[in-house]
Amino acid sequence: MELYTRTSYKLARTVTLDYSTSFSKSSKLFSSDIRDHIYAIYGLVRVADEVVDTYTGKDKLEVIKELEAHTLRSLKTGFSPNPLVHAFVTTAKKYNIGRDLITPFFKSMQMDIEPKTYTVKLYDTYIYGSAEVIGLMCLKVFCNDEAQYLKLESGAKALGAAYQKVNFLRDMKADYDERGRVYFPGITYEAFDDKQKAAIVKDIKNDFKKAQVAVAKLPANSRAAVALSFAYYSELLTKLEKTPAEVIKAGRVRVNNAKKLQLLIKTRLKKGAL
């Protein structure tokens, strides 16, 4: 079983590094004792995303429901024949990640299967399950005790929400063209304009402001990694703020590799990681 568990974590690492070049750079700044556990969380999230975003079978809803049920069953036993689920539940049992965080995540994944017009309530529900709980899962891994976790909980939720909203704005064209989705409440793709974009950016900035204090207080095992992702997403938001709404609707705004490298070097120097 020890070999299988090690192999499961290796697969989670491969999935993480293959799917996200930006996250893979920041993830290398996590301390070695927690890095695999962050990969394990990302691995399960990635599988669920693939089901709702790229799988085209008519049984998509049944597949995501079975993945949730299988994950919860495996959480009880500590074993899964699916290596990515196995890595996740091993981490979840070690760090007390329970149904209270897992179930809302899968609820949001189910919401993605049928395109819908998001009300404020649905939007908040989706953001909580798809992003805030992921921040809380990671925070469970970062923290040494419950008191520290509770102190940083609101900041972790705000950071997860900010990242997700930036993703929504960046990916607005792809989400609409490929999946029929517009997440922002009260906004249609056709009528999206600079005034609406400015209101979204303001909301995201508020989330970043709430999160920034918590980032500075994270344990040493995770502070540099999260600071780098914070810097990257802040830079991306700045670019989106300067980009007209019509341009955002025409294609994906990116932070170029040179800027990413600059942010990486700056963060590592500041945190003494070089």
Count CB atoms within 10 A of the CB of residue 214.
Answer: 20
Which pLDDT value is given to residue 24?
73
Q: Which residue segments constitute the domains of the chain, with CATH numbers given?
A: 1-98 (1.10.600.10), 115-274 (1.10.600.10)
For residue 61, give both structure tokens. 């809803």
**Can you tell me the distance from the alpha carbon of 188 to that of 146, in angstroms, rounded to the nearest whole number?**
42
Which pLDDT value is given to residue 271?
59
Query: 163 and 226 in contact (C-beta within 8 Å)?
Result: no
Query: 157 and 136 in contact (C-beta within 8 Å)?
Result: yes
| For the chain, counts of helices (H) and of strands (E) | 14, 0
Which pLDDT value is given to residue 28?
87
**Can you tell me the distance from the alpha carbon of 241 to that of 234, in angstroms, rounded to the nearest whole number?**
10
Which pLDDT value is given to residue 274?
37
Which pLDDT value is given to residue 273?
44
Which pLDDT value is given to residue 259?
81
Query: 204 and 162 in contact (C-beta within 8 Å)?
Result: yes
What does the pLDDT profile of the chain (274 residues) look like in tens digits?
999 999 999 999 999 999 877 777 788 899 999 999 999 999 999 999 999 999 999 999 999 999 999 999 999 999 999 999 999 999 999 999 999 999 999 999 999 998 778 999 999 999 999 999 999 999 999 998 999 999 999 999 999 999 999 999 999 999 999 988 999 999 999 999 999 999 999 999 999 999 999 999 999 999 999 999 999 999 999 999 999 999 999 989 888 888 877 888 877 766 554 3
- State the pTM of this model: 0.94
3-state SS class at 225: helix
**Can you tell me the distance from the alpha carbon of 210 to that of 208, in angstroms, rounded to the nearest whole number?**
5
Instruction: Please name the residues in contact with 268: beta carbons below 8 A apart, sequence gap of 6 or more.
Output: 29, 224, 228, 274
Which pLDDT value is given to residue 256?
85
Which pLDDT value is given to residue 266?
79
